[in-house]
Amino acid sequence: MNQITTSMTKYMSDHPNLKYIFFGGKGGVGKTVMAGTAALWSAKQGKKTLLASTNPVHSLSNLFEKDVFGKAAVVCDDDRCFAFEIDTKDTIERSKQEIREKINWFLRFADLTTKADDFVESATMNPAFEESAMFENMTDIMFRDEYDFYVFDTAPTANARRLLGMSKVYSLWVEKMLKSREEAKSLREMLSFSKKNEADPLMDYLLSFKDRMAKAQSLLTNDQLTAFFFATLPESLPIAVITRFINWFYEFGIPVGGVVVNGLIQQDQVKKDSPEFVLNRVKMQNEHMEEIWQIFGDRVRAVIPLFETEVKGSKMVNRMVDYLFKP
């Protein structure tokens, strides 16, 4: 069966309460373009929409030809369509500062004279720290709940899944931390170092962190609220990437919305005497389309043609809406 059974439009009308959508896939397959297109579509449906990039390499400003770095602004002349590139550096600095304060407090609490800086360095000098800061940034945006619909333009690698998988790991970790904090606290009370009910900022922090993670997880695993879409080109590598991604997502219980195929050369653009290069590419694409139907079948939501130019600016994004959301 080589045809779409549930289109993007149908999927959306089958999930009327959908509020958070994501686009994943290999770099360069059109995730940012799709995200922009979905945001504009949602705004056109009358929903106040935020398109947010949690990707350290931003491209929304380029797509919309408007500066949205560090601040949300209206794009595509639709006053309900906002875009926003998160300032990663700023987020990381703030997280570092927060961690420094917590560690300082803890060192005083434990009567340790070690300088906090060493701990802060080791806590923040790893790649996962950046991702976790981005994850918190994303959940903050979700919890603020200022929009009806959110589209997240996520990082192109395995990060997206790690970000979400992390919420599970976080919960476990915080659980452990809380337990050892409880033990340390009651020990202090027994030794009457401290009075009961003494303020404990570290514990407060862990508790609120745990709450936020649990809330994030419940939103992100709710298939009525959340959907992850995967973009691919009719080429082997991007197909392999999303095949892997999709399996990971099922494992984590994160709702898979479906697959969008992008960049298909249109048959009516090709003649028998077209250049060999073009004929070869068409042949290659046809073979990979077969593979796509075989692997993803009824999860294919749209097949989008390769346009004659790159997709940039309001007019092109508008044009894209008609393809991604075919009636």
Q: What does 24 interact with, of Mg ion, ligand ADP, none (CB < 5 to 8 A by kind)? A: none
Task: Give, rounded to a whole angstrom, the gap between the first and last alpha carbons of the chain.
Answer: 20
Q: To the nearest whole angstrom, how small is the minimum distance from the Cβ of residue 108 to ligand ADP? A: 46
326 CB-near residues (< 8 Å, 6+ apart)? 7, 8, 9, 302
Nearer to ligand ADP, 133 or 320 (CB): 320
Nearer to Mg ion, 34 or 116 (CB): 34
Q: What does 318 interact with, of Mg ion, ligand ADP, none (CB < 5 to 8 A by kind)? A: none
- For 203, list phi and psi in degrees, rounded to 5: -65, -45
Q: What does 311 interact with, of Mg ion, ligand ADP, none (CB < 5 to 8 A by kind)? A: ligand ADP
Q: To the nearest whole angstrom, how small is the minimum distance from the Cβ of residue 156 to Mg ion? A: 6
Contact of 299 with 260, CB cutoff 8 Å: no
Nearer to ligand ADP, 255 or 263 (CB): 263
Q: What does 307 interact with, of Mg ion, ligand ADP, none (CB < 5 to 8 A by kind)? A: ligand ADP
Nearer to ligand ADP, 30 or 234 (CB): 30
Q: At which residue do the structure tokens 């999303």 appear?
A: 242
Instruction: Please compute, for residue 51, the number of CA atoms within 13 A of its CA located in the half-sphere on the CB side.
Output: 32
Catalog residues that contact ligand ADP under the rule CB under 6 A.
Answer: 25, 27-33, 59, 156, 262-263, 304, 306-307, 310-312
Token code pair at residue 121: 């360095």
Nearest-CB residue for Mg ion: 32
Q: To the nearest whole angstrom, how small is the minimum distance from the Cβ of residue 40 to ligand ADP? A: 14
Alpha helices (H) along the chain? 8-14, 31-44, 60-64, 88-109, 116-124, 127-144, 159-190, 201-220, 236-252, 276-296, 313-324
Token code pair at residue 124: 């923040």
Amino acid at 278: V
Token code pair at residue 315: 């007019």
Q: What does 209 interact with, of Mg ion, ligand ADP, none (CB < 5 to 8 A by kind)? A: none
Nearer to Mg ion, 23 or 296 (CB): 23
How many residues does the structure list for the chain? 327
Q: To the nearest whole angstrom, how small is the minimum distance from the Cβ of residue 231 to ligand ADP? A: 6
Q: What does 121 interact with, of Mg ion, ligand ADP, none (CB < 5 to 8 A by kind)? A: none
Q: To the nearest whole angstrom, how small is the minimum distance from the Cβ of residue 305 to ligand ADP? A: 6
99 CB-near residues (< 8 Å, 6+ apart)? 120, 123, 124
Catalog residues that contact Mg ion under the rule CB under 5 A.
Answer: 31-32, 59
| Measured distance CA(262)–CA(324) in Å, rounded | 9
Amino acid at 28: G
Q: To the nearest whole angstrom, how small is the minimum distance from the Cβ of residue 161 to Mg ion? A: 16
Q: To the nearest whole angstrom, how small is the minimum distance from the Cβ of residue 30 to ligand ADP? A: 4
Q: What does 255 interact with, of Mg ion, ligand ADP, none (CB < 5 to 8 A by kind)? A: none
Nearer to Mg ion, 31 or 185 (CB): 31
Beta bridge partners, 53, equal 85, 153
| Measured distance CA(305)–CA(265) in Å, rounded | 6
Q: What does 33 interact with, of Mg ion, ligand ADP, none (CB < 5 to 8 A by kind)? A: ligand ADP
Nearer to ligand ADP, 32 or 132 (CB): 32
Q: To the nearest whole angstrom, how small is the minimum distance from the Cβ of residue 153 to Mg ion? A: 6
